[in-house]
Every structure is written in structure tokens, then in C-alpha cells.
Chain A
Amino acid sequence: MTLKQVFIIVDDDPINNQICRFVLTKTYPNTRVIEFLCPHDGLNYLTEEFAENEETNAILFLDINMPGLSGWEFLDLYNVLPKSLKERVRVYLLSSSVDERDRSRAGENKYVESFISKPLTIGVLQKIVQTKLKLS
């Protein structure tokens, strides 16, 4: 069984997304990176394309402060997606926030693996992926 791995980035800050892409593609050159500046577009991707490719697993980097739909609101909508779909996704909050409340709130959400303070670095990414491999 060959599982395909994708990275999804949902963040309105294009600079951040540029950094993430660099870090991801440099570390895992063969992995697909999909980025969404608008969180609604990210959700649509999950329910449509991603839902159809049942062999794909995803690591999702989600920003908190976004216009229109905040990371928390995104998670509320994510909550209602099918269980089988959510089993293929691991959500990480990636925020520039240093507020302790955001961190603890992330800990309370059952879909959030952990809270990552920006920027995404290779070291952090490797840890995530290792955890991911151990689990699978």
C-alpha cells in the first residue's frame, strides 16, 4: 500500500506560505504542497478533491488570525466533516501568536495535534513527520 502524503497550508499571509513551501519542498522534495490564502477554499479542497483521493493523507498547517474565517471557525466547520476523511488529516496550528490562551485553546481541540509558533522550521517539520511515521 503506497500512501500519498500532501501538505496543506491555510494562511492569508503569502510570505509565511512562501517560507513553508521552502521548508517543505527542501525537506521532502517529492511531496505535494497545496496552499490556500482563503480558508473557505481550503475547506472546499478537503471536501472535494481530497475526499475523492482516498489514498491520500494530509498534514494541514492552519493559521489562526485570518479575515472572513478564523482558524477556530475553520475547525468548527472541519468538525462536521466525515470521520473517515478526518482520519487522513493531521491538523497543526501554525500561528505567529505568542498568546498563551491560543496555545491552551489549541490543546483543548481534539483535532489539533499541536500548536506551532511561526516560523515553520526544518527541525519542527521533521519532528512532526517522525511522529506521523511512528503512528502509521
Chain B
Amino acid sequence: MFRNSLNPHLKTQLSAFLGDKTKQTEPYVNLFRAISQIYDKFGITGDHLVDEKTVLHCKTHLDASQRIGKTGSWEMDLSVDDSSDPNGLKWSNEAYRIFGYEPGEVEVSLDFFFKHIPSGDHRIINRAYEEAVTSGTIYQVEHRIIRSDLSVRILMERGEFLVDPESGLPYKMIGTVQDITERKENESELKAAKANLQSIIENTDTAYILLDVNANIISFNQVAKLIVMTTVGRELVVGENYIQLILADRREKVQKHIQDAISKGIESNYKTCFVIPNGETRWFDIKYIPVKGEANQVLSLSLAVNDITERKASEDKLKLFNERYELMTRATNDVLWDWDLVNDTIYRSANYHQLFGYNASETNVYIESLIDPIHPDDKTKILQSVLEKIQDPFATYWEAEYRIFKNNGETAVVKDNGYIVRNEDKKPVRIVGAMHDITNSHAAELERERITRDLIRQNKDLEQFAYIVSHNLRAPVANIRGFAELMSTMSLTKEELDQILKGINVSVKNLDGVIQDLNTILQVKREVNEKREVVKFTRLVKDILIGINDQVKRERVKFNLDFAEISQVFSVKSYLHSIFYNLISNSIKYKRPDHLTVINIKSQILENKVVLTFEDNGLGIDLKSKGDQVFGLYKRFHHNMEGKGMGLFMVKTQVEAIGGKISIESEVNKGTKFSIELSQ
């Protein structure tokens, strides 16, 4: 088939070439050479060919060797014209196997051979043959075959012509066939991997320089070239010594790193900077990576250089920010928080744990952690205020004061401020804020407010007291003056003089009375140093009722006493006696004449305080107009009643002296209720 396909021109060339060769060489030379090549390859010497037995042995040996080396051999008879003639081609056993057959299983021929060649590879084989003919070199080709089991393999064939010494024409070609599929595959994989690696190395921002163990440059990428050029103004050249490129003052350091890497296999890196020609300072991270062989010996040294100027700048900035943030959180008692509304996660600064006891990592997720600790009474209000703000596309600021439970169960009052971050659609994406524990300041503020209120009230009371005292002291004095004037300016009858002296007498008594009252009041108002003792309410009421027994019987008063909840208090007995006495006798004094008087006295514990209530169904007081005067000194509300307006004033003074508070509820013609709050 080859010969058929050879054109006359080629045939002439082939003859010429081979003829030339044979002229210079001995007959059989080529045959011998071919065989000896094969035999050399498998370590067989020509001497063994001598003896038949050895030949047979060799044949077996050859077969095995071929099998091991996956190399078959073949022999093509050029004198056979018919390409289907089985005499035209002979295969060795291994050749059979390479094509997917058992040795001798089928008859081979050139046609049979070509049946296994994919159509695309026919040309390659023909060209290789033609080349062998024209150039006079050996026939060598790689081509694919489709084996009997239809698998595709890649074969490498080599062949040589055997030339008839008489005619000088080739009569045979013998050759080898080898399955190189695996090798080919490995080769192509390696090629691809190499290409990929190359592409990576050339397309990265990292500069790579590969040095041999003497620090001579083996290779480098474009980035390396550029960096070396800009930093030291030198060209990287393969084969040159890397150390020579380094600026003199750094050479020692670089050498040390290189030495460490090469001799000790130590990987190291450091950061350094260069001032480049435009005056900029650029920072680089330089890594020395020893490349090691299988025996852990250092083969070469890879330098990886990264320009970290921007990264370092942003790292420095970040470091500064972090430091600043850290210091700020330490400087303030505010818990800083960042609520990601999109992912519903919460970040809180570390002092959240310190201030409220919740573990930051436990509570860093989910909105629940935000809401759960809020006091139930504040929850709805707070959620609403947040919702309102985040729904309002123009709201950027949220602020609230509320109570939250600490992990230890205590209640804290916090002031919370948040800045709402929105995207370009004005949708809220996060809220960043600060939560300030104002429990103490809040309590202090409440206390301050209370004190201020108390002071204002006390001041008002004192003013009122001074007003009343001056008024009531002045009233009898004015009267005495009036009488004195009358006596000095008028001629008076004996009768008139008697009247006037009587008047003076009453006025002086009144004056004395006011002064006595003042003494009493001031005594109570002074710090209570009286002995405190256990005062039993039932006993107290009993003592009082014995004293006013006749009055109670006469006025037909019904008492309902309920001291079940708390039966006693530790206090000043004389004051409590006076308080109970005044309130009870007031209720009797200001009863409704046509009604059976009922007085309910009850003790309770409310919010850790003892609360005493005195309730009657008497005349009542119009609190709308007189409310502010109820407890005033010398204030009277009922005209036709005796009394100088000391009772309730004294009650209030005494209640306050023992650290209590008194309040009144009343309605005209319904009754009056006094509530006294004492600390336990």
C-alpha cells in the first residue's frame, strides 16, 4: 500500500538515497543495525543468536521483554503488492496485544492494520512514510488506533528499510510499535498544568523570582520585572546573581534570609519599603520560600513579593479606627450596637456584658435579643417607636428611654439612641446606636425631683405657716391695741370699761393660746428623738375609744377595724396616738347629723409600706376649692363647729415627723378618706 501510494518522484528519491547509503556501508548493515537496536534495547547480545535453542529461548525472552516494555515489533515485506495479503505484514506477539488481540488470533495484513487507524490519522502515517523515504532517515510516527475493543490508544512506531545489497532497493521494513497512550496523557496533562501555572504566575499581582541555590536567577514573572525596575532601577536577567540587584545597605539582610532558606530550609518573610522615583513610598511584603525535593533537600528558592502599600495603609487606618473604637467604648459607658436589619443580626460592644450581664456572643443574633430584655410595660411602646422611625423614609434618628432587665434580674433604665442607615431606595438597612445606662442618674434624677418637690412643698408649707402664725399672732395683738386706743381716746362708762377689760382678757388668752400652739408645733417639727416602739393598732384604737367613750355612745358611731394584714408598726407611740385621735374625733365631729356614722380603719402593706386608711361617711370637704388648705394651720371648713384648725395640721406634722405621708380623698356629703403611708 505504501509503495502504491508512492509517486514516481519519491521512488526515485528513495532509490537514490538508499543506493547512496548502501554504497558506503556493508550489505545487511541496516538489517543488523535494526535488529541490534532492538536487541540492545532489551539487553540481548547478538552472540545468543548462534544456537537454535538459544534462538527459541531468545524468542520467548523477547516476547516477555516486549510485553513488559509494551513494545511490539513488526516486519513489512515490500515485495508483496497486495495490501490484503497476510504475507505483507508480520506482527510480534506484543504487537498483537497492542492492537487488542491474542497473538496469532487473526491474520494481519496492511489492510488489516489500516482498518484500525482512524481516518484522520491515515495522512499522518503516509506523510511519515514519505518523509522516511525522502530524507532517508527512519520512519517515525505517532498515531492513534482503534483497538478491537474499540478503545482508542496512541502508538509510537519506528521503522527502518532493509535494502537488498544486490539491487540496492529496499525490500523490507522492520519496526517497533509502542503504546504511549499513558505517557501522552501525562504529557498533555503536564503541559496543561504548566500552561495554567504560567498563566497564574503571569496574571497575578505577586512578583515571583526563582533562584537557584547560589542565588542566581532562574526565572521570574512580568510583575517581578516591573517591581525590580521601579524599586532599584535594574533589569532582571536570567542567570545573574540576585544579591547583586539588592541595594547595598540591605544586602546583608537579604543574604541572611536567602541563606536561611537555602541552607536551613526556613521559610521567612518581612515587610520593607522603597521610595520609588515619583517620590512615593511603597511597602512590600517579601517571602522567601524554599522549594524542596522529595528528600526534603532545597532545590531552589522562590521569592514572592507583594506590593502591600494600599493594604498597609488601609490596615493602618483600620488599626487606628479599631484602636479608637476600642478606647471609645472604654471611655464611655455606652453600649455601642449595630443592628443589621437585612440579616437581622446584632453586634454589640463588649461592655454590654459588663453592664447588663448578657454574653455578647449569645445575644449577637436575632432581634429577640434586642427585645427580650425590655421591661414588658415598655416593650410595645419601644417597638412602636422603632417601627415608626424605620418606616418613615426621612427619619434618621431614633431615641428612647426604657427599662431593661439585666441578666441578674435587676432592672436598668437606659437611654438609647440610634442612627438609621438607609439604602438609595430609602429602605432601612441598619441602625447603629449607643445605649446608655442611666439607672443611677435616672434614680438620682427621680430623687432630685422628689427632693425638689418636697422642698417646694415644705417651703410653701412654711410660708403658709408663717402667714398663719403672723396672722393669728397679730389678731389678738390688734384687738388689744384696739381696746387700748378706745381706753385712751374715749370717755367710757364703767360698764363699757368692764366690757373692754373682758375683751382684753380674752385677747391675751388667745395670744397665749397661739403661742402654746406654736410651741407644740415646733416641738413636733423638730427632729423626732422620741423613743420608737412597737405600736399595736388594736390597742391604740382601744385606748382612744376609752377616752371618748361617752361621745361615741352619744353620737352612735360604728367602728370597723381591720388590722389583719399588718397589726403593728415600729414608731413613736405618742404621735400615732395623736394622729389616730385627731382623725377619729374629726370623723365624729364632722358627721352628717341624720346618718349613722361609720368609721372604717384598715391597715395594709402596699409596695413595702404600711398604709393606714381612715374612712368615714361624714360631711366631707370640698377639695376642689379647699384641697390645698386641708392640712393648713388654723384652717377651718365648717363654720358652726368649734375647733381652731389645729387638728389636721398637727396630724400632718406628726405623720411627716415619723417619716410618713398623708393624703385625703373627700366628697361633700359622702365622706372623707385619709391614707397614711408609713415605712415599715
Contact = CB atoms under 8 A, between A and B. Distances in A.
B540 to A, nearest CB: 30
Interface string B498-541: 01100100110010000000000000000000000000000000
B475 A13 contact: yes
B470 interface: yes
Interface string B150-162: 0000000000000
A80 interface: no
Interface stretch (B227-235, B483-491, B554-562): B483-491
B513 to A, nearest CB: 13
A96 B636 contact: no
B639 A16 contact: no
A73 B676 CA distance: 31
A56 B386 CA distance: 75
Contact of A16 (B479, B486, B625, B635): B479
A38 B638 CA distance: 10
B467 interface: yes
B646 to A, nearest CB: 13
A36 to B, nearest CB: 11
Interface string B461-487: 000000100110011111101110110
B326 interface: no
B471 A65 contact: yes
A60 to B, nearest CB: 18
Contact of B483 (A12, A19, A26, A122): A19
B315 interface: no
Contacts, number: 80
Contact of A68 (B467, B471, B490, B638): B638
A33 to B, nearest CB: 15
Contact of A96 (B474, B490, B625): B474
A96 B478 contact: yes
Contacts of B507: 15
B42 interface: no
A97 B482 contact: no
Contacts of A95: 471
B486 A22 contact: yes
Interface stretch (A2-10, A47-55, A82-90, A112-120): A112-120
Contacts of B489: 122
Contacts of A73: 625
Contacts of A23: 482, 486
A44 to B, nearest CB: 13
A98 B637 contact: no
A105 to B, nearest CB: 13
Nearest to B486: A22
Given A15-B506, A97-B474, A119 B639 contact: no
A121 B475 contact: no
A67 interface: yes
A69 B635 CA distance: 11
Contact of B475 (A16, A18, A22, A68): A16
A118 B477 CA distance: 9
Nearest to B639: A68
Interface string A25-69: 010000000000010100000000000000000000000011111
Given A117-B478, A122-B489, A67 B639 contact: yes
B165 interface: no
A96 B475 contact: yes
B478 A26 contact: no
B665 interface: no
Given A98-B474, A119-B479, A26 B639 contact: no
B471 A119 contact: no
Majority secondary structure of chain A interface residues (helix, strand, loop or mixed): loop
A26 B506 CA distance: 22
Contacts of A121: 482, 485
A99 interface: yes
A82 to B, nearest CB: 25
Interface residues of A, number: 28
Given A13-B475, A96-B475, A97-B471, A67 B486 contact: no
A20 to B, nearest CB: 8
Contacts of A99: 467, 470-471
Nearest to B479: A15
Interface in B84-132: none
B346 to A, nearest CB: 60
A22 B471 contact: no
B503 A15 contact: yes
Contacts of A117: 478
Contacts of B506: 15
Interface in A94-136: 95-99, 117-122
A118 B490 contact: no
B556 to A, nearest CB: 26
Contacts of A120: 482
A15 B506 CA distance: 8
B110 to A, nearest CB: 141
B499 A18 contact: yes
B475 A118 contact: yes
A15 to B, nearest CB: 5
A13 B645 CA distance: 14
Contacts of B637: 67-68
Contacts of B635: 67
Contact of B636 (A16, A67, A98, A118): A67
Contacts of B490: 22, 26
B496 interface: yes
A18 B481 CA distance: 13
B485 A119 contact: yes
Nearest to A117: B478
A121 B635 CA distance: 28
Nearest to A18: B503
Contacts of A19: 479, 482-483, 486, 503
Contacts of B496: 22
Contacts of B639: 12, 38, 40, 66-69
Nearest to A39: B639
Nearest to B635: A67
A16 B481 CA distance: 11
A19 B489 CA distance: 13
B638 A67 contact: yes
Nearest to A120: B482
Nearest to A69: B639
A97 B478 CA distance: 10
A35 to B, nearest CB: 14
Contacts of A38: 639-640
Given A15-B503, A122-B489, A68 B636 contact: yes
The 8 closest A-B pairs by CB, nearest first: A119-B482, A67-B636, A118-B478, A19-B482, A68-B639, A96-B475, A96-B474, A96-B478
Given A16-B482, A18-B503, A22-B490, 18 more contacts: A13-B479, A15-B479, A19-B482, A26-B490, A38-B639, A65-B471, A67-B638, A68-B637, A73-B625, A96-B478, A97-B470, A98-B470, A98-B471, A118-B474, A118-B475, A118-B479, A119-B479, A119-B482
8 contacts: A15-B510, A19-B483, A19-B486, A22-B499, A73-B625, A97-B470, A99-B471, A121-B482
Interface of A: 12-13, 15-16, 18-19, 22-23, 26, 38, 40, 65-69, 73, 95-99, 117-122
